[in-house]
Amino acid sequence: MAMPTVIPERFRVVSRPETPNGWTACEHRGATIRCCGVHNVLLMPDHSYHGASFGQASFVETLIDLWLDERRLPQGYRAGTSRLAPD
């Protein structure tokens, strides 16, 4: 059974999938987010995490907001990787 796609309220849904396992395309502040169950891909060419996949859409929202407002990543993250920076 597929996990339901959870879309944050601030995302604007651009297109819905034609099949249950398809991707929902959303927009937030000019960025595109493709959502399917627990997979959320950020499409924002000038962002360090363009093309990276994350488990929570709300975290993608945070990535977009921090990048646009402060031109930075969350604490513990580094440019060019979708993994948490090692200590």
Residue 51 resides in a domain:
yes
Q: What is the pLDDT of residues 42-67, one digit of tens each?
A: 999 999 999 999 999 999 999 999 99
pTM of the model: 0.82
Task: Answer whether residue 57 is part of any domain.
Answer: yes
The CA angle 41-20-4, to the nearest 5 degrees, is: 65
In terms of residue numbers, what domain contains 60? 23-70
Q: Is residue 38 domain-resident?
A: yes
Give the sheet arrangement for strand 31-36, strand by strand.
12-15, 24-28, 31-36, 39-43, 53-54
Q: Is residue 42 part of a domain?
A: yes
- Per the structure, how many domains does the chain have? 1
**Which of helix, strand or coil describes residue 66?**
helix
Q: What mean pLDDT do residues 71-79 have?
A: 88
